[in-house]
Amino acid sequence: MEGLSLWRLWTRLGWNDILQRYRRSILGPFWLTASMAIMVIMLGVLYAELFSTPINDLLPFLCIGLLVWNLLASFLTEGGTLFTGSESYIKQIRLPYSVYVYRSAWSKLVIFLHNFLIYFGVLLYFWIWPGTIGLLAIPGLLILLFNGALANLSIGIVSARFRDVPQVVSSVVQIVFFVTPIFWKPELLKSRPYIADVNPFFHLVEIIRAPLLGVFPTALNYWAVALITMVNLLITGLLFVRFRSRIAYWV
Task: Find all residues with CB under 8 Å of 91, minimum gap 6, and list them.
Answer: 248, 251
Residues 167-211: tens digit of each pLDDT: 999 999 999 998 899 888 888 777 777 778 889 999 999 999 999
96 vs 111: CA distance, rounded Å: 24
Residue 132 burial (CB count, 10 A)? 8
Single out the residue of 106, 119, 103 nearest to residue 33, CA to CA: 119
Degrees (nearest 5) of the Cα angle 29, 205, 165? 70
114 vs 56: CA distance, rounded Å: 23
Question: Residue 24's pLDDT is what?
Answer: 59
22 falls in which pLDDT band (50, 70, 90)? low
- HSE at residue 169, side-chain half, CA atoms within 13 A, is 22
Which residue has better confidence, 20 or 172? Answer: 172
Region of 201 (left: φ > 0; alpha: ψ -120 to 50; beta: rest) is alpha
* C-alpha distance across the termini of the chain, in Å: 24
82 vs 107: CA distance, rounded Å: 12
- Are 204 and 144 in contact by the 8 Å Cβ rule? The answer is yes
239 falls in which pLDDT band (50, 70, 90)? very high
The CA-based dihedral angle spanning residues 60, 33, 72, 149, taken in that order and rounded to the nearest 10 degrees: -140
